[in-house]
Structure 1
């Protein structure tokens, strides 16, 4: 009986809390006209509405407390302010602006718009990246200033943020850190762009927020949103890529009620060997990918949960030379077969004026690498025949690694103390690596992480301050393995204290300055400590160093931004000093016919920055002229660091026409990317010449009543330039990057 009374009390309390309604009107600050289709959204509650023709909105079933409200509309400056619920009707005025419609930054803890954020974060919607013709997500993120990619063909790409990559850049998906043996140069993301809503990039050390491995920055992938409350949505997307004779298909269905939400998306893609500007196809750069994303959410006035699952299977050829010319999409030996499972549960408990967040994640990564055990004296038909002999046969992987990871992220968002916001929490993971293949590159091991942190934000009319402290501890233990290869038994502990402080000052409504100081750390990974074997994907024999210590860095980041309703410009400079920087270096040793590379440490420094402008003259709201410049230099003593991207200048002209009766949201763009000569190179690298790449495209939507058909056509490297990127792992063999590629895309929204 007592339990029943408690349940009834909870139901009545929830009902009382859910009766709150927030309503108001959105108008143009200059003309006083109502703003149609403006978005009104509470990010913490994940509830919102869209204004009608009269500019009015209403959101019901809201809890009681203080929550941030975001109001945004194309062509206007977004509003982000605290609202106390319940509240009377409120009227808002939006100011016209050249700035693109801002969104709340999810990767930082205080739900700020980027213009209000102390830490500078880049944000791009994946749909915008796809419109520019990217073949993969890894290629798409390179359109963000300060972000590049280490590539092995077009099927494998690793993000590089200001010259740092691999285990120095954390990737987050579904709110949990992605763990997929990212230490390897030829280990790609394993995440399909379909079902990803937006990408956020934190440049520089983010160890305060994310712990070890965020020393270079964070690539934060936000999943696509559920359907609006009490609605059903579905869409089908199809892409064709001329260069790889490739295709990508994706279908999604979703439905939402008052409390429950559900969505499912399935995607399939396949590509043949890509063709360089010289007209030759790069043998075995073909790849296939299958992807499934599922999600279900629940929310009432006291509790919100989001359960997501992603399965990704990739079959990726590992190119070794220019050989057989084929349009086949079946990978040849050697190739990778990778299964990646990501399961996450995001919980939020709403208290009176505070919230508790608990994110739990489980991942299982099964990485297999198959090698060609047969050698050929001739190329051409014999190579093709050998590939056909393996079709339908059961192949046994030379390398098979299973990586299972459980992670958690607990946060308590304190009630606001006037202008002060405070967050405290703990993060950690338990990880196990196991080997099942004929060969071993790294031993079986168990890794445990735990970290505690607190961060605060203080707001004044002209100033904003943000800072925090964090402590992390990592334990790593391996098995003693003897046999053909010998791995030292490792039982190491790594720990670090880190701090961050940032400030933002508004000189005026137009001019803003940001200064951020941050320390970060990275514990050496399993490969760096214990490697003792042939890394076939990298074509080298790697030997680890069991005595490696933490990398520890300190970065200074300064940004200046100026904006008005017609023009926006920024300049962002940084210096990142890293003590005990870990790198792999070639030696004079030969093992099994392969060059031996060993891991060593030395101090290093990286410096550079980004600058850009956006011209959006009113009343020519349809015209946009944009330009960005990015540069980074990495040094170790008097030597330059390897795999540092070349400086680049990108200029874009685009036009956008909103609205219309039949043809909606029309756009046209053309872009020229100039990559400069790369003369400052690591001591075992070679110089890379500069090049220019021309891109263009257009698209629109057709209004079909309650349905909408979107289409776009884009082209990259339209002049079919033969070039080699400095970050291409095929550069050492003189193999060029992809030539002209035309992408045709169609999307049908139901």
Structure 2
């Protein structure tokens, strides 16, 4: 009888193995951090020894058909966490896996490069993540200051906190860098660029920087890259924070932030106010102070997101800021009485509807209104300019998961931009766009330690009635290997473009300035590649090397004619190439850490061989912090090489070095979390200008007190 029982049991086991091998078993679940409860993106789920597998998504979830036998096991692993192994035959219900962290690694998540959440170490592009809530960014007073020490980012500052700040990335000018906030374009259609001094950091959780051309995904202005501001997501329950700071040159900043999160809804409201006299000393002697340089900025931020249904979510965003400031002009042409007022209102609504793996809809609609008033009562050349820009934008896309290894994103955008100006009249512009992006990972879910391949082709078509149409293709490739270390290799080739701004096209002909309605769009193409390596050895390391080579044709340049009247023309072709080096280290426990970035850049006029103006050949940044029991010490150092200031390179500004130090202390009073932060900027009181004629402050103090619940 025992023999018949043994044979029967063996037969049942054999049938189970055959059934599982032929039909497969659906394995699904979620993977989270055992301490924080946060979902883990990119964890490996693998049937051992030779079965199928999957990788967890942005919510830490996974689902696949297991092709192994009943005797196989399921292994879940993620770099920096202790792996988990389960018997495949014992799995009946949905899994809830909690992995225990063993080391603190660089598990940064970005959205911009692929239009969905992905590990930064796995996207086929050069990216960087700036955490706004980190101690080194606590006293930053605007977007320009937060970006100034990022890899290959050069912020052109026109005079301290109050001055205009524009952003260059990899040698691409301010009109060639796209700025987004939660997917909404912030570039002004009138100028084509963004003034980073207008935006405080209130309501911003982190900033994603995508270096390299991205027109195949985002269209015009993305020749040099994309700067993406991601809004704050409040934690569960009620939270609040009050922050106030004061500093040199009459600077005072106050901020209030409230947040609430429940199982379905999360919302945040924040207010920010900054005033500054801006009367810093000019020159080494310090006897003369900058005049007419005061400013006052107010900003309101509100965000609400939640689930209307299990498969339908909504996000509402409103941001409003107002800046009133004196405009002192350059030291060569002072304006003692000029005043400027800027007012921006942005409202957006976004919906996500996930019906099935094939139907994952996303729609977004935004309306932005910009007003600018500039008055200069100069008795010889009085100016009174008024500009109102209305931008309405909508997008619709669908992401279809055609196979476990293949995603297809298809969508369209439409925008309408209207300008009412005392200088330009009432020009209008319409944008119609369609885009297609695929992600193919042929070996997704294979055994950890083997190479994973990601192929990402993209194609976008943009049509502007006043500037023509353009197709922008791009092919990106990523190779990723992860076990006890992580190695990521990426490369891409693509085309990009930028349409002329409304100022370029429509500025009325006058005695000094005239627009050019015959301008062609700028056209670019770039090849770039890089390698990122993460490992643990006496702490946690991240090493990165990237190189790029690009060419921009029909570069728009404003030049003067024989009568000294300036007008834009498609004059130059530019060749830009460079190398980026980055190294970061964090001790186990995150007590000590540092990051160093170095960029070597060559940006030249192809015809003359001369350097493009205001493109430094070198830039080096070092940031470090030390967390003690009661204090946090921080410091930074920046070196920027010389910049040529005219086309024939006969004049230049020397390189400069800036050193900053900061000290923070946390104090806990029950539920209250108090942080005192003191910072000294430009410790050695260096006097320099980034832009000719616009000096920057010397040594500067800032003290900040933050009270949170």
1:607 corresponds to 2:585: no
Determine the structure 1 residue equivalent to 2:601.
632
Which structure 2 residue ranges, 5 or more long, are not aligned?
A: 1-27, 43-54, 62-77, 84-90, 444-450
Q: Go from structure 1 to structure 2 and tell me whether the alpha carbon gap of 1:308 and 1:107 turns closer, same or farther (over 3 Å shift).
A: farther
Task: Look up the SS of the partner of 1:645 in the other structure.
Answer: coil
How far residue 160 of structure 1 moved from its aligned partner, in angstroms, is: 1.1
Q: Are the counterparts in 2 of residues 42 and 69 from structure 1 also a CA contact under 8 Å?
A: yes
Task: Look up the SS of the partner of 2:431 in the other structure.
Answer: strand
Q: Are the counterparts in 2 of residues 76 and 95 from structure 1 also a CA contact under 8 Å?
A: no
**Which residue of the other structure, out of 302, 307, 320, is the alignment partner of 2:329?**
320
Which structure 1 residue ranges, 5 or more long, are not aligned?
A: 1-20, 27-34, 44-64, 326-330, 377-395, 477-492, 535-539
**Which residue of the other structure, out of 378, 384, 393, is the alignment partner of 1:398?**
384
Q: Are the counterparts in 1 of residues 141 and 200 from structure 2 also a CA contact under 8 Å?
A: no
1:255 corresponds to 2:266: no
Q: Are the counterparts in 2 of residues 548 and 601 from structure 1 also a CA contact under 8 Å?
A: no
Deviations for 1:550-571, whole angstroms, at most 9, x for unmatched residues? 2111111111222211332211
**Superposition pairs for residues 289-328 of structure 1, below 5 Å?**
289-299=297-307, 300-320=309-329
Residues in 2 aligned to 1:632 and 1:129: alpha-carbon distance in whole angstroms: 30
Q: Go from structure 1 to structure 2 and tell me whether the alpha carbon gap of 1:736 and 1:92 turns closer, same or farther (over 3 Å shift).
A: same
Q: Go from structure 1 to structure 2 and tell me whether the alpha carbon gap of 1:453 and 1:615 turns closer, same or farther (over 3 Å shift).
A: same
1:689 corresponds to 2:654: yes
**Which residue of the other structure, out of 572, 580, 584, is the alignment partner of 2:546?**
572
Q: Are the counterparts in 1 of residues 638 and 659 from structure 2 also a CA contact under 8 Å?
A: yes
Determine the structure 2 residue equivalent to 1:37.
36
Task: Look up the SS of the partner of 1:140 in the other structure.
Answer: helix
How far residue 301 of structure 1 moved from its aligned partner, in angstroms, is: 0.4
Residues in 2 aligned to 1:85 and 1:455: alpha-carbon distance in whole angstroms: 37
Q: Are the counterparts in 2 of residues 174 and 344 from structure 1 also a CA contact under 8 Å?
A: no
**Which residue of the other structure, out of 322, 337, 341, is the alignment partner of 2:341?**
337
Task: Look up the SS of the partner of 1:627 in the other structure.
Answer: strand
Residues in 1 aligned to 2:425 and 2:184: alpha-carbon distance in whole angstroms: 25
Q: Are the counterparts in 1 of residues 545 and 580 from structure 2 also a CA contact under 8 Å?
A: yes
Determine the structure 1 residue equivalent to 2:500.
524
1:465 corresponds to 2:424: no
Determine the structure 1 residue equivalent to 2:354.
350
Residues in 2 aligned to 1:177 and 1:24: alpha-carbon distance in whole angstroms: 34
Determine the structure 1 residue equivalent to 2:14.
none
How far residue 691 of structure 1 moved from its aligned partner, in angstroms, is: 2.1
Task: Look up the SS of the partner of 1:284 in the other structure.
Answer: coil
Task: Look up the SS of the partner of 1:360 in the other structure.
Answer: strand
Determine the structure 1 residue equivalent to 2:625.
654
Deviations for 1:187-235, whole angstroms, at most 9, x for unmatched residues? 555322111111111112111111112122111111111342xx11111
Residues in 2 aligned to 1:373 and 1:204: alpha-carbon distance in whole angstroms: 43
Determine the structure 1 residue equivalent to 2:8.
none
Residues in 1 aligned to 2:584 and 2:419: alpha-carbon distance in whole angstroms: 47
**Which residue of the other structure, out of 452, 464, 470, is the alignment partner of 2:434?**
452
Deviations for 1:67-86, whole angstroms, at most 9, x for unmatched residues? 53359xxx974899xxx998
**Higher gyration radius (CA):** 2
How many residue pairs were aligned? 625
Determine the structure 1 residue equivalent to 2:247.
241
**Superposition pairs for residues 720-735 of structure 1, below 5 Å?**
720-725=685-690, 728=691, 731=692, 733=693, 735=694
Deviations for 1:227-278, whole angstroms, at most 9, x for unmatched residues? 42xx111111112122x22011111222233333332211111111242463
How far residue 312 of structure 1 moved from its aligned partner, in angstroms, is: 0.6
Q: Are the counterparts in 1 of residues 32 and 60 from structure 2 also a CA contact under 8 Å?
A: no
Q: Go from structure 1 to structure 2 and tell me whether the alpha carbon gap of 1:462 and 1:101 turns closer, same or farther (over 3 Å shift).
A: closer
Q: What do you get for the CA RMSD once the two structures are aligned? A: 3.2
**Superposition pairs for residues 71-150 of structure 1, below 5 Å?**
77=80, 87-97=94-104, 99-106=105-112, 108-128=114-134, 131=137, 133-150=139-156
Residues in 1 aligned to 2:143 and 2:596: alpha-carbon distance in whole angstroms: 22
Task: Look up the SS of the partner of 1:69 in the other structure.
Answer: coil
Task: Look up the SS of the partner of 2:109 in the other structure.
Answer: coil
Q: Go from structure 1 to structure 2 and tell me whether the alpha carbon gap of 1:253 and 1:692 turns closer, same or farther (over 3 Å shift).
A: same
Determine the structure 1 residue equivalent to 2:232.
224
Q: Are the counterparts in 2 of residues 586 and 596 from structure 1 also a CA contact under 8 Å?
A: yes
Q: Are the counterparts in 2 of residues 532 and 541 from structure 1 also a CA contact under 8 Å?
A: no
Residues in 1 aligned to 2:399 and 2:596: alpha-carbon distance in whole angstroms: 38
Residues in 1 aligned to 2:82 and 2:118: alpha-carbon distance in whole angstroms: 10
Deviations for 1:558-611, whole angstroms, at most 9, x for unmatched residues? 112222113322111111111211111233424xxxx63543332211111321
Determine the structure 1 residue equivalent to 2:271.
266
Deviations for 1:488-531, whole angstroms, at most 9, x for unmatched residues? xxxxx510111111111236644322111111111222211222
Q: Go from structure 1 to structure 2 and tell me whether the alpha carbon gap of 1:255 and 1:68 turns closer, same or farther (over 3 Å shift).
A: closer
How far residue 672 of structure 1 moved from its aligned partner, in angstroms, is: 2.1
Determine the structure 2 residue equivalent to 1:623.
592
Residues in 2 aligned to 1:86 and 1:706: alpha-carbon distance in whole angstroms: 39
Deviations for 1:337-390, whole angstroms, at most 9, x for unmatched residues? 0110000001111212242100110001011111123369xxxxxxxxxxxxxx
1:514 corresponds to 2:490: yes
Task: Look up the SS of the partner of 1:139 in the other structure.
Answer: helix
Residues in 2 aligned to 1:671 and 1:719: alpha-carbon distance in whole angstroms: 13
